[in-house]
Structure 1
């Protein structure tokens, strides 16, 4: 949530909207002491908020092994190993955010043996529910690309236990 309360703060707003870049006004409140408290001011949601909510919601579904394309997963695996580094919950998620609506694109890797259509349906439902509940934006579409299948015998880089020789 982005608010501008300090007059001395650097103004990062865009001239067209008066909002910080990469944010969307969700409620266009008004100013004035005569207004009810919930209507005083404006609420803006940064695009990264929608990305993170959608990424977490998609990963909650059984059958989703990972997210992102091959290169982004490789870079993410390296990043996850760095001490003090955090997992990138937004990997594999792209969003377009408008004034009251958003569209979400997801790149998934599913587990072998699960129904891709069932996983996609469950992911779509969970993402729509989470984004609408948390941000208040209407989700107009969730596009899913399944770009890989994780096989049971594939070793994950983080699960490698050592060398083949002793």
Structure 2
């Protein structure tokens, strides 16, 4: 692992120089890809991301942890799903969407995408009232 926690794309090295991608960029790409899947209610971050969002700072990498090693990257995603969806189906869609987005945007080898379902969100009464009208 690089000591500066920057992932170098060796296959993108040319006479012009090298390309480096920060793990934070990978977290953002994976976070957006996961939240695009229907059935994902929210991403689950830690206390610090919750405080930052309350202060008005949007964190697209929320709920995503990236580990770098010699064989590629491991992405861990923590999500809250919508009640009534198929957990295995949503998890597979999240894995596929993240893998496709990262390969398309970064050309990095992905070792694993681990999905952690940490909660279920039920419909709120406001949402039910709007549908009932």
TM-score tier after normalising by the smaller chain length = 0.7 to 0.9
Question: TM (normalized to structure 1)?
Answer: 0.66
Instruction: Classify 1:121/1:109 alpha carbon distance in 2 versus 1 (closer, same or farther; 3 Å).
Output: same
Question: In the alignment, does 2:28 pair up with 1:57?
Answer: no
Partner residue of 2:101?
130
Q: Which whole-Å deviations, capped at 9, do the CAs of 1:16-71 have from their partners, x for residues lacking one?
A: 96xx7120110273xxxxxxxx43211111111111100000000010011115xx
CA distance in 2, matches of 1:99, 1:154: 49
- 1:98-131 CA-to-partner distances (Å, cap 9, x unmatched) read 4562110011100001111111010000000001
CA contact (8 A) 1:56 1:89 kept: yes
> Is 1:25 paired with 2:1?
no
In the TM superposition, 1:97-112 aligns within 5 A as: 97-98=68-69, 101-112=72-83
What CA distance in whole angstroms lies between the structure 2 residues aligned with 1:131 and 1:75? 22
More helix by share: 2
Structure 1 or 2: more strand by fraction: 2
> Quick check: 1:24–1:98 contact (8 Å CA) kept in 2?
no
Which is greater in Rg? 1
User: What's the C-alpha RMSD, in Å, of the aligned pairs?
Assistant: 2.5
| TM-score between both structures, scaled by the size of structure 2 | 0.81
Higher relative contact order (CA 8 A, sep 6+): 2
Unaligned runs of 5+ in 2: 127-133
Q: How many residues align?
A: 125
